[in-house]
Every structure is written in C-alpha cells, then in structure tokens.
Amino acid sequence: MCGIAGYIGPRNAVEVVFDQLKRLEYRGYDSAGVAFPVNGHIEVLKRAGKLTELQKLIGEEPRDSRIAIAHSRWATHGGPTNENAHPHYDAYERIAIIHNGIIENYLELREELLAKGHKFRSQTDTEVAAHVIGEEYAGGISLEEAVRKGVKRLRGAYALVVLSQSEEGKIVAARNASPLVLGVGSGENLLASDIPALLPYTREVVILEEDSIATLTTAGIQVMDLDGRPKPLEPIHIEWDIAAAERGGYEHFMLKEIHEQPEVLRQCIAGRVDDKLEIRLDQVFSEHVWTEIDRVNIIACGTAYNAGLMGKHLFEKLLRLPTDVYYSSEFRYGDPVLSPRSLAIFVSQSGETADTLAALRLCKSRRIRTLGIVNVIGSSIARECDRTIFTQAGPEISVASTKAYTAQVTVLTLLAMYIAQVQEMPGVRVEEAVQELVGLAERAEVCLKLEDQMIGLAEKYKDMPLCFFLGRGADANVALEGALKLKEIAYIPTEESPAGEMKHGPLALVQPGVIAMFGSTDREVRDKVVSSMKEIQARGGTVIAIVTDDDTVTEKAADEIVRIPGSKLEFLSALLTIIPMQLFAYHVARLRGCEIDQPRNLAKSVTVE
C-alpha cells in the first residue's frame, strides 16, 4: 500500500515525482525516497519520516534530470528507517528499485543470495527483489528481459519499478496483484500506484494488467506479458477530479476500504501460508512458548475489541485455550488477575490508542508476555509489545474501521491455526482450515457483489427508529461490529446481543418499524435463530437475515434474505457477514446525508483517555 511515482520526459523529473508523492500523501507513509541518474550512476536519496525530510535532502543541491522514480513507504518488512526506505540498489548498484506489495519467498531468496556472497543493507523484501533482478541483469540482457526473468523468481504481490544506470532512457515496471497505473502523455510518460498522482500531467491512463511488464520511454509505452509477448495498450480517459481520484473514484474512503477487503485478506496471509498450506509465524515466539501458555487475555477497544471476541471464540473452540476479552479502559483500572503463564494480546489498528497502550504497559510491569496485532508499523503498541504481528491492511483513512476488522480477525485465525499446528493438536484439521482461509478473499469478492441488494434494503429501511443486530456464537460477535458501524456513521440507535438474550429484556423494545439484522451461519443453531426471528416478527419487527448459500431453513422465516458464500469453517462464514452489514450501514448513512468518513464526535486515533 505504498506510493509509487515515475516520470520520463522534458520536465525536471525529480520535481515531478516529488509532486506525485505529495499527491499520494493522503494514504499515509513513514519514509520516502527518490532515484535518478547523475553522471552515469543512479543517485538514491531517501529518508525516514515525512516528505519534508526528503525535500531537505533533495534541496541540498540542484537536482535536474529527465527521468526519475520515487516512493513513499508504509513499512511492512523492517521498521521505518532510512535504510529500509526505497529505492533499493541491486548488489552492483547498477539498478534501483521501488516496490509496493509483499514478496512471499524473500527469506528463501535472501538465503540463496547470501550464500552467493550478496550483502544486504536493509531488512526489506524489496532489496531482495532488487538483487534478484540485478543478478539477471548482470548476464548482459536488456532491463526488460532482466525484470521479466527476475519476477519469475518472485512469489507474492508486487508492483515494482526499475531504473538502470546503463539504460538511462527508460523506466521498466512490472505488476502482479499490487496496483500500478501508467499515464500516457505527449513526449512524456508517467507511472504511479494510484490515479491522483497522474492527473495533473495527463488524463489518459492505462491500468497495467496482472503479470505485465511495461517499458516507458519519451517515445511511448510498451507492454508485454511474462513470456515477452506484446500486449495492446488501452488507455482510458479519467474524468474524476483529484479528490474523487484519491478515493479511487468511490464517493467515500469508507466505501473504498470496504471494497479493498478481498485484497487486504490476500495481503494479510501473504508470506504466512506456504505451498504446503503450513502457517509460518515462526518469528512470533519460539515453538515451546506456545505449549507454556495456559490462558490468553485479548485487550482492545471498539472494533478491535469486537475482533478480539472472534479470537476468543476460535481460541476456545479450536484450541480449548481459556481466553478473556477486555476493553482496554476497563482492564487498566480493573486490577486483573494475571497468570504468569498467560499471554496478553493487544489488538489495535492505529497502535496508538491510549487505553490499549496503558493496558500494555500494565502487563509489561507484571512481566506478562505481550503480543500486538497492529496495523501501523512503528506505532507505540507495535514497538512496545514483546512481539507484533502486522495486519498488513494498508492505511485506513475512514474513521469507521472496516478493512482493519477483517484483517484483525484473519490474523487471530492464522494465530489460532498456527498454535494448533505447532502443538499438533489431534482433531484439528489445520490444513483444511488453512485452505478455507486462503479461499476467503474470493468469497469476500462475492459478498461485495451484494452491494445493489444492500442499497435496496437501505432505501427501504433508512428511517428505522432502531436496529437490532443479533446472532449466536460467532454471528453474535459480528453482530456487535455490524451495530457499531450503523450507529457510528448513520446515527441510528442499535441494540445488539446474542439472539438468545432477547427475551430477557431487549425484546421489550420491538415494535412496528424496528428492524432486526441477523447473521445466521451456524448450521447447528439455525432452528434456534429462526425462533428468535419469529419473536421479533410477532411483535411487528422486520427481519433481515444474512445466511449462507446452502441455507433453506431461514429463508422461510425472514422478511429479507441476504446470501453469502458459505465456508466449511463456519467461523469464516460468520466473519463474511460483516461485509453486507458494512455496506448496509454505509448506504443508510449516505441516504440520510451523514458525513461518512468523519462522523460527528469521533476521531480515527484515540490517543487520549
């Protein structure tokens, strides 16, 4: 989710690519760099921190070049330091590379290259990719050929861009899974990770297809596939204004982030599941630690707390490992009983939430093992936890969290399966579960196709006075998150509880006009959920049920049926119900004219108590 920029043409290329990076600033980043040729050598200037740091470095002497590439990094492999910032050289400093994505086999490749005598200056997967391509290039072939051969050795997601000292008149780029767009100008050409960085220069844009290599010169752009066969160039004309382009053409960041979830699910497991469907989280704690842990405490706020509840469900059901979930604000003042063999897990998108950070410090003062599940690398929680697993969801800009939630639950699922794998638990079919997790992104794509149906439901029910969110088991946990979305962006009161609790009080609130959104993905309790639906309907309420595609029971009971693709691991079906709920909340809020990305009274990162 890093920013990529590149320019070749008559203007001052260093100025152009810097301007492009500024236009990508809204996405968030923690370091930046630029590369351009000077006297037969590729000069690389890079700095951790904001673009102003890079600007100071660039400003130290006059910089003028007709060709340049630049990058703003959002750290994934290795912290946000000068060394880890892009561009990266190959072993011979003949080429410089920038990259967005994750090279899954970078550790194997790094070992292979180290054995051949390569030396690395950073901890990044990108530098490994640079050395791989540099090695091919040393064979005396063209830059395009070297990139084509090099990327065949890489596994994972990448958009990468290469500049060479010996072929100064071209930029070569390759793409697999991570976005890359090309800007077609007259006598000048550009590339970027996102359309807003192209718009001041051209509105003719080519979305580079998967598994393609592009060569940019002042004369034009050539695209080929990985076997070297030319591909046609099909530019599209972009009408959006710059602000709309930042949102990828979506009306709000929230909608963009909802739609990013399939990609986020892929990024989240990238490099963590190998070809044999084994989970690789070896860097977290050594294997023996997992056999010592007798209890888990998950500590978080808001959406991250809701993700923690899903973790508890899985840890207890799959691992039989006692797990409690605490609100950070309650934990820190609650004088918690902490077993010395327990593990405290801190879930946080921002990594800066004040209550969660204070709870972490409390655990550390009691010498409890701590593990972070965090999105922002270099954040306080990520730095202070003994170990951290990053959710790799990319910057989340909308205040209401969406993609961070699915990523947090995915990491908790990976972790639970990893513990089962390490402990060789009888009865847990890890491989089968991992297979289901790998297929989750595709099923998330199918859920996004429900948008038109959710718009229809939003139009019909946008004036509801109250909305219940109900379910059982994992569905009850997702119901909490669905309710949080609706209340925070559409300002509609919600009532959320396990469906079985309804008759112990909340049922008194049901009257005509009230809506009840049910997640019902657990075959074993389908009949019970149907009974709860009947209780709502008997009192004049309307039931919307989100069910899996094999369910023929619930459809007879609900007023509205939303079907999602089921998974053999029911827990994952429950997780996917959040996508139609997010879409429902979003469209209700939009139809009610609410300010979606920045709801009233709320902030993205709650760094005060």
Give the active site residues: 2, 604
Q: Which stretch binds ligand F6R (CB under 6 A): 208-216, 300-308, 387-395, 573-581?
A: 300-308
Q: Which stretch binds ligand F6R (CB under 6 A): 125-133, 184-192, 349-357, 520-528?
A: 349-357
Q: Which stretch binds ligand F6R (CB under 6 A): 7-15, 301-309, 440-448, 499-507?
A: 301-309
CA atoms of 227 and 149, how far apart (whole Å): 9
CA atoms of 388 and 566, how far apart (whole Å): 31
Which residues make Cβ contacts (< 8 Å) with residue 342, sequence separation at least 6? 293, 294, 295, 296, 297, 368, 369
Q: Which stretch binds ligand F6R (CB under 6 A): 118-126, 298-306, 495-503, 553-561?
A: 298-306
Residue 62 host element (H or E):
none
Q: Which residue is nearest to ligand F6R (CB)?
A: 302
CA atoms of 521 and 525, how far apart (whole Å): 9
CA atoms of 20 and 16, how far apart (whole Å): 6
By beta-carbon proximity to ligand F6R, the closer residue of 178 and 370 is 370
Alpha helices in 180-260 (DSSP H): 242-246, 253-259
- CB of 168 vs ligand F6R, minimal distance in Å: 45
Q: Which stretch binds ligand F6R (CB under 6 A): 78-86, 161-169, 350-358, 502-510?
A: 350-358
Q: Which stretch binds ligand F6R (CB under 6 A): 106-114, 348-356, 427-435, 518-526?
A: 348-356
Judged by CB under 6 A, which of 165, 215, 267, 303 binds ligand F6R? 303
532 and 500 Cβ atoms separated by less than 8 Å: yes
- CB of 359 vs ligand F6R, minimal distance in Å: 11
By beta-carbon proximity to ligand F6R, the closer residue of 301 and 416 is 301
- CB of 305 vs ligand F6R, minimal distance in Å: 7
Neighbours of 333 (CB within 10 A): 11
Which residues make Cβ contacts (< 8 Å) with residue 8, sequence separation at least 6? 66, 67, 169, 170, 171, 188, 189, 190, 216, 217, 218
By beta-carbon proximity to ligand F6R, the closer residue of 34 and 589 is 589
262 and 444 Cβ atoms separated by less than 8 Å: yes
By beta-carbon proximity to ligand F6R, the closer residue of 123 and 605 is 605
Judged by CB under 6 A, which of 157, 304, 419, 516 binds ligand F6R? 304
| Phi, then psi, of 473 in degrees rounded to 5 | 60, -135
- CB of 469 vs ligand F6R, minimal distance in Å: 14
Q: Does residue 302 interact with ligand F6R by CB under 6 A?
A: yes
By beta-carbon proximity to ligand F6R, the closer residue of 82 and 605 is 605
CA atoms of 69 and 98, how far apart (whole Å): 8
The sign one gets for the Cα dihedral 8, 10, 14, 17 is negative
Give 467-522 as a DSSP string: EEEEESTHHHHHHHHHHHHHHHHH---EEEEEGGGGGGTGGGG--TT-EEEEEE--
Q: Which stretch binds ligand F6R (CB under 6 A): 117-125, 271-279, 297-305, 542-550?
A: 297-305
- CB of 84 vs ligand F6R, minimal distance in Å: 23
- CB of 296 vs ligand F6R, minimal distance in Å: 18
Q: Does residue 208 interact with ligand F6R by CB under 6 A?
A: no
Q: Does residue 348 interact with ligand F6R by CB under 6 A?
A: yes
CA atoms of 53 and 325, how far apart (whole Å): 41
Which tokens is 273 given? 């599941």
Q: Does residue 606 interact with ligand F6R by CB under 6 A?
A: yes
- CB of 86 vs ligand F6R, minimal distance in Å: 26
Residue type, 281: L
The sign one gets for the Cα dihedral 486, 491, 495, 497 is positive
Residue with the two structure tokens 């910057």: 395
Query: Which 8-state DSSP code applies to residue 197?
Result: G
Characterize the bridge pairing of strands 41-48 and 31-38: antiparallel
Judged by CB under 6 A, which of 100, 122, 124, 349 binds ligand F6R? 349
By beta-carbon proximity to ligand F6R, the closer residue of 143 and 486 is 486
Q: What is the 3-state secondary structure (H, E, C) of 145-172?
A: HHHHHHHHCCCEEEEEEEEECCCCCCEE
CA atoms of 300 and 428, how far apart (whole Å): 28
By beta-carbon proximity to ligand F6R, the closer residue of 246 and 481 is 481
By beta-carbon proximity to ligand F6R, the closer residue of 387 and 604 is 604
**DSSP helix/strand/coil, 579:** helix
- CB of 379 vs ligand F6R, minimal distance in Å: 9
Which tokens is 448 given? 């996004």
Q: Does residue 279 interact with ligand F6R by CB under 6 A?
A: no
Judged by CB under 6 A, which of 55, 82, 537, 605 binds ligand F6R? 605
Judged by CB under 6 A, which of 100, 356, 421, 532 binds ligand F6R? 356
- CB of 351 vs ligand F6R, minimal distance in Å: 7
Q: Does residue 582 interact with ligand F6R by CB under 6 A?
A: no
- CB of 278 vs ligand F6R, minimal distance in Å: 29
Dmax over CA atoms of the chain, in Å, equals 81
Q: Does residue 301 interact with ligand F6R by CB under 6 A?
A: yes
87 and 71 Cβ atoms separated by less than 8 Å: yes
By beta-carbon proximity to ligand F6R, the closer residue of 401 and 406 is 401
Which residues make Cβ contacts (< 8 Å) with residue 191, sequence separation at least 6? 4, 5, 6, 161, 171, 173, 180, 181, 182, 183, 208, 214, 216
549 and 584 Cβ atoms separated by less than 8 Å: no
Site string for ligand F6R, 383-422 (x = CB under 6 A): -----------------xx---------------------
By beta-carbon proximity to ligand F6R, the closer residue of 451 and 488 is 488
The site for ligand F6R, by CB under 6 A, has a size of 15
By beta-carbon proximity to ligand F6R, the closer residue of 188 and 481 is 481
Judged by CB under 6 A, which of 350, 410, 421, 532 binds ligand F6R? 350
* Interactions with ligand F6R, residue window 464-493 (CB under 6 A): 484, 488
Binding site residues, ligand F6R, CB under 6 A: 301-304, 348-350, 353, 356, 400-401, 484, 488, 605-606
